[in-house]
Structure 1
Amino acid sequence: MPPRRARRSGPLLAAGVLAAGLPLLLGACGGAVPTTFDLTAVPGAARSGPARRSIVVAEPVGLQPFEADRIIVREPGGSLSFLGGGQWADRLPRLIQARLLQSLENTGRLRSVSRPGDKVAADTVLVTEIRAFDIAAGSREAVVDISVKLVSEATGTVAAARVFQARVPVAAVDAGSAANGLDRALSTVLADIVRWVGAAA
C-alpha cells in the first residue's frame, strides 16, 4: 500500500502528481520510495496602485541540513534528523525561492520579480535566511522561521529587515503530516513577507 499523502485544497496537488510517478520509475530498484511533496505560493489578490519596485529574489541561505531536499525533525534536545518516507520536490532553498518569487509576482504590485541570474535590472535584492524549517517533535508543531532583508542594489545597504515566524500543529510526526504542516506554516510566512514588501515599496 503506497504511503498516505497529505492533501488539502490545492497546496500539495503538484506533489501528488510528482509522487504518483516516482514508484513507477523506481519501483524496480527495490526498497521503499519516498513520497515527494511540493510547497505552495500565496495566490494573487486584486490590488490597485502603480507597480513601483523591481526585486531580485536571492536563493535563501541556511545551515547544511536545510540545503537538502529532506524533511527535518528537531528533537526536544535540539538534535536534527531526516524524516523517512518523504522528500521535497527540490532542494529546500531553491523551492522556497521559487514560491517566494511566485508569491510576489502574484500581487501584481511590482514592476518585476526575478532571480539573480535572469539579468533583469532591479533596484532591490530580497535576501533571506532559513533559520528553521522543521518539525518540533516535542510539541508536534511545524516551525518556519525566515529572516528577510531588503538590500539596495545600487549601494548594498539594508533598507529594511525583519524575521517572520509561524508554528502550525501537526497530527503526527510522519511525512504526510509534516509536509502539510510545513506548507501551511510557510504559507503564513510568505503572506506576511508579501505584505511587508508591499508596505516597504
Structure 2
Amino acid sequence: MKTVLTVVATLGAMMLSGCAGIGTINRAATPTDLFVLTPKSTFDSGLPRLSQQIVVEEPTATAAVDTDQIAVHPTPLQVEYLPRVRWVDRAPLIVQALLIESFENSGKVAAVGRSTVGLRPDYTIVTDVREFQALLPESEDKDAPLVIHVRLNIKVVDSFRDQIIGSSSFEEEVLAKSDENLDIAQAFDEALGRTMRQSVEWSIRKIYGHAQKNPRPQLR
C-alpha cells in the first residue's frame, strides 16, 4: 500500500511539473505587439521650395532610447520597458525614416535621402533623439494614463563648408488616452508627428535662407 501511495504521489508531482512547463511555454508563445509610427504629411503651404539635396543622418540617442523597446520612466532616474510590446525597429532608425518621408511629403524638397544611398548633399540634417519615452503622471491616481514625451534636437549642416548653420530643439508631450498599448503607441505617434512637422518646417526655412545668402560656386 505504501508503494502505491508513493507512485501516486510521484505521478501527481510529475503532472504538476508538466502543467507548469506548459504554462511557461504558453507565456513564451504569447505574441509581442509590434507598432509602427507614421510620417507627417501636412505642412505650412507657405514653405519655400528647395533645389538643394538633403541627407538625413541616422539620429543619435542614449542606450535607453536606442532600442526597439518602449521606454517608461517611473522616476527621472529610472528606466523600464513595457512588456510584450515593441517598435518594429530601433527608435533612431524609425525617426530617420519618418523624417525622410516627412521631408518628401512637404513637396518642397528636390531630393532627400540617407547618406548610404550615395547622395552628394548640399545640406545634412543631424538629429539627436533627446527624449522618446513615457512618463508616469504627477498624480496620486495609480490608473492615470502615461504622458508621452518626445524631444528632437536638429542641426542643419552646410555640407559644402562642413559648418553648422542652425540648431534647435522641438519638444512635445501628449497624454495617452489609456494604458492600453494601442493608445500609448498613438500618443507616441502624435507627439513625434508634431515634433517632426516643426523640425521639417524649421529646417527648410533655415536651408532656404542660408542658400539665398550663400550660393554655391559654379562648377566648370
Report the counterpart of residue 147 of structure 1 in structure 2: 153
**Hey, what's the Cα distance between the residues in 1 that align with 2:77 and 2:180?**
18
**Hey, what's the Cα distance between the residues in 1 that align with 2:183 and 2:86?**
12
1:108-144 CA-partner distances (Å, limit 9, x unpaired): 2112101011111211110000111000113421000
Paired letter, 1:32: T
**Hey, what's the Cα distance between the residues in 2 that align with 1:28 and 1:102?**
39
Q: Runs of 5+ in structure 1 lacking a partner?
A: 1-26
Report the counterpart of residue 125 of structure 1 in structure 2: 124
Paired letter, 1:115: R
Report the counterpart of residue 88 of structure 2 in structure 1: 89
- Paired residue for 1:178, among 180, 184, 189? 184
- Structure 1 residue 91, shift from structure 2 partner: 1.1
Moved more, 118-127 or 173-182: 173-182
Paired letter, 2:35: F
**Hey, what's the Cα distance between the residues in 1 that align with 2:42 and 2:50?**
14
- Structure 1 residue 197, shift from structure 2 partner: 1.5
Tell me if the contact between 1:76 and 1:138 (Cα under 8 Å) persists in the aligned partners. Answer: no
**Hey, what's the Cα distance between the residues in 1 that align with 2:136 and 2:178?**
9
Moved more, 170-179 or 116-125: 170-179
Report the counterpart of residue 69 of structure 2 in structure 1: 70
- Structure 1 residue 164, shift from structure 2 partner: 0.4
Instruction: Specify whether residues 48 and 178 from structure 1 end up closer, same or farther in structure 2 by C-alpha distance, changes over 3 A only.
Output: closer
Tell me if the contact between 2:34 and 2:85 (Cα under 8 Å) persists in the aligned partners. Answer: yes
For 1:1-201, list aligned pairs within 5 A.
30-44=28-42, 50-139=49-138, 140-200=146-206, 201=208
Identity %: 23
How many residues align? The count is: 175
Moved more, 114-123 or 48-57: 48-57
Q: Aligned-residue CA RMSD in angstroms?
A: 2.1
Tell me if the contact between 1:135 and 1:173 (Cα under 8 Å) persists in the aligned partners. Answer: no
Report the counterpart of residue 211 of structure 2 in structure 1: none
Q: How does the TM-score come out when normalised to structure 2?
A: 0.73
**Hey, what's the Cα distance between the residues in 2 that align with 1:50 and 1:191?**
16
- Structure 1 residue 107, shift from structure 2 partner: 1.1
Moved over 6 A (4+): none
**Hey, what's the Cα distance between the residues in 2 that align with 1:156 and 1:89?**
33
1:59-96 CA-partner distances (Å, limit 9, x unpaired): 11000121110100011243011111211011111111
Moved more, 38-47 or 125-134: 38-47
**Hey, what's the Cα distance between the residues in 2 that align with 1:141 and 1:149?**
26
Moved more, 45-54 or 131-140: 45-54
Task: Kindly name which structure, 1 or 2, has the bigger radius of gyration based on alpha carbons.
Answer: 2
